[in-house]
Amino acid sequence: MSRIPQKLTMAVIIGNRGFFPSYLVAEAREQAIALFDRLGINTIMLNETQTELGGVETRQDAKICADLFRAHRDEIHGVVVLLPNFGDEKAVAETLRLSGLNVPVLVQAEEDNLDKMGLATRRDSFCGKISLCNNLRQYGIPFTLTTQHVCALSGEVFARDLKRFEQICRVVSSMRGVRVGAIGARPAGFNTVRYSEKLLERLGIAVETLDLSEVFTRIKTLRDDDIRVDEKRRLLLDNADASAIPADKLVTMAKLFVVISEWVTANDIDTTAIQCWTSLQENLGINVCSIMSVMSGQLMPSACEVDVMGALSMYALASANMNPASIADWNNNFGDDRNKCVLFHCGNFASASLESPHMGTADIIGTTVGKENTCGAVHGRLKAGALTYFRLSTDDLSGDIKAYVGEGQSVDDPLETVGCRAVIQVPKLENLLAWICRNGFEHHVAMNHAASAEVLHEAFTRYLGVETYLHQ
């Protein structure tokens, strides 16, 4: 079961400054409760008895609020700071410092109305936000801004910003402490998917390994009529039309699925990278593609060719918008259109992203291992629609983790070929491909149906410390 958090919890700080109208704090608190409830986000905030109107203005207020947040630190995914008036920038910054929270922070400031600029009604949040952000930078606390410098707490602009911030928090929370399962050895011919476990440890990412010999041994202990085997067989049948696949091949696939699933559960694995050729074909006579497709559909993405960084890229995409992600090769030009290209892999895409998915053989690999030994590849065309692509990579030469991200469209232009494929359109694609080549990125890219490039860029650049190129 995927550990990507679905329902998030936000700590809320409402700033106040005494010589501005304090009733605005109570008003903001009431509006915030209604908004967060409408968006399905849990909140942790001061009530009216803990500080004046539940706001934060003094050092003592900061200590009380920080104590509340520390008591719930394991639940909190992000902090939302609301400035209904100028606010006390020092008290808000000290709340964050004292709480010890290491989560994304969103800063909102309420807009003034031109007919309410008298002493009893003016807010000056426009100015207060600049002061708060200055203090946060001094304290070394990264933060996210709203689309507009000031916006109404009860308006749709802030509601959209909050949903976007929720995605950022989900990515950051999911990526910290993620555990990758590397199953099998990297194919000898694929130096491109080399990676550094030591660099990943800087992000708290762990890699657990499993040798294929152990997989084969465990498969031998499973009976054909084992209830676990039947359960996995049914998942494979539900994932894609398997009418062309022999029954014995489906049983073998189901046994492999059982072994992988039980190892994943026992080791708290979030995403996997599998040696998909040629050992499985030579020893079991099947492809693992359909199993990977099912797992990706369950938001536990699985990457080909032991591409650990590809698996992490898929996991990041899936966590951003709770949509299944897939991995493919930047594979072919699309005629003379230099802003279009073909993405392709043998057959591992999440079936929900495909038109009429069906299970077959992997004919390209089949030229060397025999087509009959490649049952399990998924065939289908990626559905048209918005597309986000993303790639993480470890660079041992610089000692850094780096990434790129961008958006495009999956289009329905005619394409006659096999496997999982897509025609995608990306603005200034030639520039992107040149950048990928010059910066030593892999030929694999993760993608899903979404428009979340800015979310991933913000999450990785601002909060995870990964330099990320945003292609536009």
Supply the pLDDT for residue 17.
Answer: 86
pLDDT at 121 over 70: no
Q: What are phi and psi of 340, to 5 degrees?
A: -125, 150
CB neighbour burial string for 410-440, b if at least 16 within 10 angstroms, e if fewer: bbeeeeeeebbbbbbbbeebeebbeebeeee
Residues 268-299: tens digit of each pLDDT: 999 999 999 999 999 999 999 999 999 999 99
User: Which range, of 15-24, 83-92, 245-254, 422-431, averages the lowest pLDDT?
Assistant: 15-24
* Across 350-367, average pLDDT: 96
pLDDT given at position 94: 98
% of the chain beyond a pLDDT of 90: 94
Q: DSSP states of 381-443 as a string?
A: EEPSEEEEEEEEEEETTTTEEEEEEEEEEEE------SSEEEEEE-TTHHHHHHHHHHTT--S
* pLDDT given for residue 113 in this prediction: 77
- Between 79-83, 111-115, 237-241, the lowest mean confidence (pLDDT) is in 111-115
pLDDT of residue 114: 62
pLDDT one-digit tens code per residue, 316-358: 999 999 999 999 999 999 999 999 999 999 999 999 999 999 9
Q: What is the mean pLDDT of residues 152-176?
A: 97
DSSP H helices, 224-383, are 227-239, 247-266, 279-283, 289-297, 308-321, 363-369
Q: How many helices (H) and strands (E) does the chain have?
A: 15, 18
DSSP 90: H
pLDDT of residue 452: 98
Cβ–Cβ under 8 Å, residues 125 and 110: yes
* pLDDT tens digits, one per residue of 49-92: 999 999 999 999 999 999 999 999 999 999 999 999 989 999 99
Instruction: Tell me phi and psi for residue 79, to 5 degrees.
Output: -120, 135
- Going by the DSSP 8-state scheme, the letter that residue 110 receives in this structure is P
What is the average pLDDT value for the chain, to the nearest integer?
Answer: 96
In this prediction the pTM is 0.96
Q: 14: closest CA among 55, 53, 49?
A: 55
For 445-453, what is the mean pLDDT?
98
What three-state secondary structure class fits 393?
strand
Q: Which pLDDT does position 118 carry in this prediction?
A: 65
Rg value, the chain, Cα: 25
Q: What is the pLDDT of residues 370-380, one digit of tens each?
A: 999 999 999 99
Given a cut of 90, whether residue 188 has pLDDT beyond it is: no
β-pair partners for 82: 14, 108
- Kindly state the percentage of the chain with pLDDT values over 70: 98
Nearest to 197 by CA among 375, 396, 33, 337: 396
Structure confidence at residue 22 (pLDDT):
79
Confidence of residue 120 (pLDDT cuts 50, 70, 90): low
CB 218 within 8 A of CB 246: no
For residue 231, pLDDT over 90 is answered with yes
Tell me the pairing of strands 375-382 and 420-425. Answer: parallel
Q: Flag whether pLDDT at 417 surpasses 70.
A: yes
Which residue's entry shows tokens 């399962």? Answer: 181
